[in-house]
Amino acid sequence: MDGRFSGSRRLWLVRRLLLGAAVVLLVSVLVFAATQVLPGDPARAVLGHDATPESVAALRAELGLDRPLISQYLAWLGHIVTGDLGQSLVTREPVAALIGDRTINSAVLVVISAAIVVPLSVFVGALAGRRRDRKFDKAMLVVTLGLTALPEAIIALLLVILFSTSVLRLLPGTVLLGPGQNPLGQPAQLVLPVAALVLGVLPYLSRLVRGSVIDVYESEYVRIARLKGVPERVVLRRHVLSNALVPAIQGTALALAYLTGGVVVVEQVFNYPGLGTTLVDAVNNRDFPVIQMVCLVFAACYVIFNLLGDVLTVYVTPRLRTAGQ
């Protein structure tokens, strides 16, 4: 029995992996198509406006831009599968080397933000759900609603105004990191970018946890536990938090995906050398290989986070864990 169910879970995992790979493949098609409709000629952007038509045509031929689009896409995809991420059209540097350090920088930002916002959201949401309609709950709803109405760029700018200008001047408003420099070596420079990401995700995740906690508190088994005289601490720990965990896991997966996408705006505001600023610079310079690779990294992160959320949901839910699919 257990072996059969274990086998079905493995089959489900394989299906989810294949589905994730299909999503990334579809994103690669969309990203490739989107880069082709960007205004401007990448060859002319590299050579400058004074370049002769002959030199532009020669560079287009060298880069393979004169071939049919389907041939360009298949060649690009084949190179990625073999580990060749291509070469930047602007710097002529391998894309892997160009985005390597910046991927680490963005990952540092996302991991630190997630390590703060996930437990904080669970604590705030659970406390608000336990004290429903009391002062803390009402204050939490007002604050989170206000934060939800603010785009990340506005939150980041407000943080800069409050803590990096004439108001307080406590923290640096821009991040100054050289190539290959460890961002953790300058922790003060990370405070405001991390705070902007945390404040952008906290309202969504804490309200999700609050709603889940309220739903569990209103369930029949919690009422029975209370009628039996089970202490409120035990009810919260054994019944409420454990059953509110599934929505929190799914919400955390989406929050991580949101953080990964949110670094584009936050990095631009704080001049943080990560994938977000790399993407913006590549779009401005029509650097197609860099644009395509950064977008694929973001898509892969989104798929991985959602897959991990689904796997953890199955693991912590007995009904799903033992269901023969």
- Kindly give the confidence (pLDDT) of every residue in the chain, 325 residues in length, as a single tens digit, with 9 standing for 90 and above: 444 445 667 787 888 888 888 988 898 899 888 887 777 777 777 777 777 888 888 878 877 777 888 888 888 888 888 888 888 888 888 888 888 889 999 999 999 999 999 889 888 988 888 888 889 989 999 999 898 888 888 999 999 988 888 777 888 888 888 777 888 888 888 999 999 999 988 998 899 888 888 888 787 877 888 777 878 777 777 777 777 777 788 888 888 888 888 888 899 999 899 999 999 988 888 888 898 899 889 988 888 888 888 888 777 765 554 544 4
Residue 166 exposed, middle or buried by CB count within 10 Å (0-12, 13-18, 19+): exposed
Are 148 and 55 within one domain? no
Are 239 and 108 within one domain? yes
Are 113 and 262 within one domain? yes
Assign 94 to helix, strand or coil.
Answer: strand
The CA-atom distances, in angstroms, between 230 and each of 223, 226, 234 are: 10, 5, 7
> Whose CA is closest to 267, among 288, 298, 242?
298
What is the extent of the structural domain holding 10?
Answer: 1-90+288-325
Are 70 and 201 within one domain? no
Are 70 and 119 within one domain? no
Q: How many domains does the chain have?
A: 2
Are 83 and 120 within one domain? no
Are 142 and 168 within one domain? yes
Are 187 and 61 within one domain? no
Distance CA 261, CA 269 (A): 14
Are 180 and 269 within one domain? yes
Q: What is the largest CA-CA distance in the chain?
A: 86
Are 9 and 133 within one domain? no
Are 154 and 264 within one domain? yes
DSSP state of 100: H
Distance CA 107, CA 301 (A): 10
